[in-house]
Homo-oligomer: A and B are copies of this chain.
Amino acid sequence: MSKNNVTLEENYSEWYNNIVIKANLADHSAVRGCMVIKPYGYAIWELMQQALDTMFKDTGHVNAYFPLFIPKSFFSKEASHVDGFAKECAVVTHYRLKNASDGSGIVVDEDAKLEEELIVRPTSETIIWNTYKSWIQSYRDLPLLVNQWANVVRWEMRTRLFLRTAEFLWQEGHTAHATAQEAITETEKMLDVYADFVENWMAVPVIKGIKTANERFAGAIETYCIEALMQDGKALQAGTSHFLGQNFAKAFDVKFATAESKQEYVWATSWGVSTRLMGALIMAHSDNQGLVLPPKLAPTQVVIVPIYKTEDELKAISLKANELVQELKKLGIRVKFDNDDKQRPGWKFAEYEFKGVPLRVAIGARDMQNGTAELARRDTKSKEAVKQDELVSKIETLLTEIQSNLFIKAKNFRDNSIHHVDRWDVFVKTLDEKGGFISAHWDGTAETEQKIKEETKATIRCIPLNNENEEGKCILTGKPSTQRVLFARAY
């Protein structure tokens, strides 16, 4: 039976790790910084993928696949990209192993050294724009709206399951356009798709905004982002969408003939979300009894547990339960009847609670006499007796209600965690004592932003979209400012 021996209040970080490992979501592997995504965790990721993939296709995108490896020289082609991405990465230098001459095992064959090292992709702008050169000749070839589902590697020194791992799974969209405006529209559209997904599927409210120059993607003109708040008051960047201007088109010489037969550089965007979202999902809703999942992303939405003493009792309950399973499946509800006789009901209750199954139906011998069942919600932990012939409609209603309840709860928490602060001492104190987002004035310089980061570990999460103009003074330097920005400590 899974149980968290640390509460969220005692040690948030350990509480999180325990949920990830004990709920069988992921585990550390023998390879430093790389995780194993276990079947239960992967089933949640698959539901996320399906929802996102459908949204991408509904907005006109197609999937493709580009090489895992990128020649080292490609990174040097876009000046700012190289500093951001070609540093901590996995470098392939050889292509063959051989038996050691002393019989001690296998060793790298020095005769099989690559002429140019290959980098395991940390992101694919370079290899993709190198490919687009041959795909794009004329305005007729545009827009090119391509997405890739892939693994990427960034050599992180301090890793945490799902949140920061050397290898992670993600999707990366890479689009090409004839005009700057069209590319900006695409960048904003995909930010909306991400916000829609995170809010309506993950039940996590987000703030849309743009990054400051310091926090911008290496190679982007503008980075848009969605920022979420975790229960410990730390922010988490849930997705980014970049307007890349003509930077990569120039680096890889990708031009197109306009309708007027002029040669122009192509405009680009890229956008991505990753298995990091799994971390956000877990941290946003879970509690001291374990994982809490929004119904739309729960691999099992309803579990039915029989409570019986005799075989005859089990037989009668099973008949009813199987009927229920059929009816729920017809409605597209993911349901499991757990009639495993190796575990007792109490064990099962705790197990499914820990794994975040949104609804539990318990049917006992007395229920069979009364034509009832006990229906328990994971989110509120409330239970009620429900007539068996009302179960299906009740379950359908409750799944919708739980989905919206989780969002409302998270949104209330988030809204109450945005603090307007105008004094430096209050800024520091609020960060230490309350956490959350701090809405404060900033003088707009990278130096001030850096200094605030060094002194408080807080970064500017974003400048919210449609931000209000407001005269004010920078929280640190007192210099004039025209708008508030959102600061937070972040994952």
| Cβ–Cβ < 8 Å partners of A130 in chain B | 30
Confirm or deny: A86 has a beta carbon within 8 angstroms of a beta carbon on chain B.
Answer: yes
Confirm or deny: A31 has a beta carbon within 8 angstroms of a beta carbon on chain B.
Answer: yes
Please name the residue on chain B nearest to A275 by beta carbon: B65
- Given that A34-B69, A67-B31, A146-B39 are contacting pairs, would A94 and B96 also be in contact in the complex, using a CB cutoff of 8 Å? no
| Cβ–Cβ < 8 Å partners of A429 in chain B | none
Contact B108 A91 (CB under 8 A): yes
Complex-state Cα separation, A45 to B65, whole angstroms = 10
Q: Shortest distance in angstroms between A121's beta carbon and chain B's nearest beta carbon?
A: 10
Complex-state Cα separation, A241 to B105, whole angstroms = 28
| Cβ–Cβ < 8 Å partners of A150 in chain B | 151
Cβ proximity bits A76-95 to B, threshold 8 Å, 1 near / 0 not: 10000010001111111111
Confirm or deny: A155 has a beta carbon within 8 angstroms of a beta carbon on chain B.
Answer: yes
Q: List the number of copies, as a whole number.
A: 2
Which one of B46, B91, B108 contacts A97 once the chains associate, using CB atoms below 8 Å? B91
Interface size on A (CB < 8 Å)?
Answer: 63
Confirm or deny: A199 has a beta carbon within 8 angstroms of a beta carbon on chain B.
Answer: no
Contact A71 B39 (CB under 8 A): no
**21 CB-based A-B contacts, threshold 8 Å:** A27-B134, A29-B66, A30-B71, A31-B67, A31-B118, A36-B65, A38-B64, A42-B62, A42-B63, A43-B63, A67-B167, A68-B151, A68-B153, A69-B90, A72-B97, A76-B105, A88-B95, A88-B96, A90-B95, A91-B92, A96-B155
Which one of B108, B120, B131 contacts A120 once the chains associate, using CB atoms below 8 Å? B120
Contact A93 B91 (CB under 8 A): yes
Complex-state Cα separation, A244 to B264, whole angstroms = 58
Complex-state Cα separation, A119 to B107, whole angstroms = 11
| Cβ–Cβ < 8 Å partners of A68 in chain B | 34, 120, 151, 153, 167
Which one of B42, B64, B127, B342 contacts A31 once the chains associate, using CB atoms below 8 Å? B127
Confirm or deny: A117 has a beta carbon within 8 angstroms of a beta carbon on chain B.
Answer: yes
Confirm or deny: A291 has a beta carbon within 8 angstroms of a beta carbon on chain B.
Answer: no
Confirm or deny: A189 has a beta carbon within 8 angstroms of a beta carbon on chain B.
Answer: no
- Given that A72-B106, A106-B86 are contacting pairs, would A94 and B93 also be in contact in the complex, using a CB cutoff of 8 Å? yes
Contact B169 A73 (CB under 8 A): no
Contact A37 B62 (CB under 8 A): no
- Given that A42-B63, A131-B29 are contacting pairs, would A97 and B90 also be in contact in the complex, using a CB cutoff of 8 Å? no
- Please provide the 9 A-B residue pairs with the shortest distance between their CB atoms, ordered closest to farther: A34-B67, A39-B62, A37-B65, A91-B94, A95-B155, A93-B93, A31-B67, A90-B92, A39-B64
Q: Shortest distance in angstroms between A127's beta carbon and chain B's nearest beta carbon?
A: 7
| Cβ–Cβ < 8 Å partners of A76 in chain B | 105-106
Contact A42 B29 (CB under 8 A): no
Contact A31 B82 (CB under 8 A): no
Complex-state Cα separation, A63 to B46, whole angstroms = 9
Q: Shortest distance in angstroms between A219's beta carbon and chain B's nearest beta carbon?
A: 15
Please name the residue on chain B nearest to A94 by beta carbon: B91
Cβ proximity bits A108-128 to B, threshold 8 Å, 1 near / 0 not: 100000000111100000010
Please name the residue on chain B nearest to A82 by beta carbon: B106
Q: Shortest distance in angstroms between A95's beta carbon and chain B's nearest beta carbon?
A: 4
| Cβ–Cβ < 8 Å partners of A127 in chain B | 29-31
Confirm or deny: A35 has a beta carbon within 8 angstroms of a beta carbon on chain B.
Answer: yes
Complex-state Cα separation, A134 to B30, whole angstroms = 11
Please name the residue on chain B nearest to A128 by beta carbon: B36
| Cβ–Cβ < 8 Å partners of A42 in chain B | 62-65
Confirm or deny: A70 has a beta carbon within 8 angstroms of a beta carbon on chain B.
Answer: yes
Q: Shortest distance in angstroms between A205's beta carbon and chain B's nearest beta carbon?
A: 28
Confirm or deny: A366 has a beta carbon within 8 angstroms of a beta carbon on chain B.
Answer: no
Q: Shortest distance in angstroms between A178's beta carbon and chain B's nearest beta carbon?
A: 15
| Cβ–Cβ < 8 Å partners of A117 in chain B | 108
Q: Shortest distance in angstroms between A28's beta carbon and chain B's nearest beta carbon?
A: 10
Contact B69 A97 (CB under 8 A): no
| Cβ–Cβ < 8 Å partners of A118 in chain B | 31, 90
Q: Shortest distance in angstroms between A126's beta carbon and chain B's nearest beta carbon?
A: 9
Q: Shortest distance in angstroms between A456's beta carbon and chain B's nearest beta carbon?
A: 29
Please name the residue on chain B nearest to A342 by beta carbon: B140
| Cβ–Cβ < 8 Å partners of A86 in chain B | 97, 106
Q: Shortest distance in angstroms between A38's beta carbon and chain B's nearest beta carbon?
A: 6
Complex-state Cα separation, A62 to B72, whole angstroms = 37
- Given that A86-B97, A89-B97, A97-B86 are contacting pairs, would A31 and B71 also be in contact in the complex, using a CB cutoff of 8 Å? yes
Contact B35 A67 (CB under 8 A): yes
Confirm or deny: A98 has a beta carbon within 8 angstroms of a beta carbon on chain B.
Answer: yes
Please name the residue on chain B nearest to A157 by beta carbon: B95
**Quick one: which of A161-190 are within 8 Å of B by CB?**
167, 169
| Cβ–Cβ < 8 Å partners of A92 in chain B | 90-93, 120
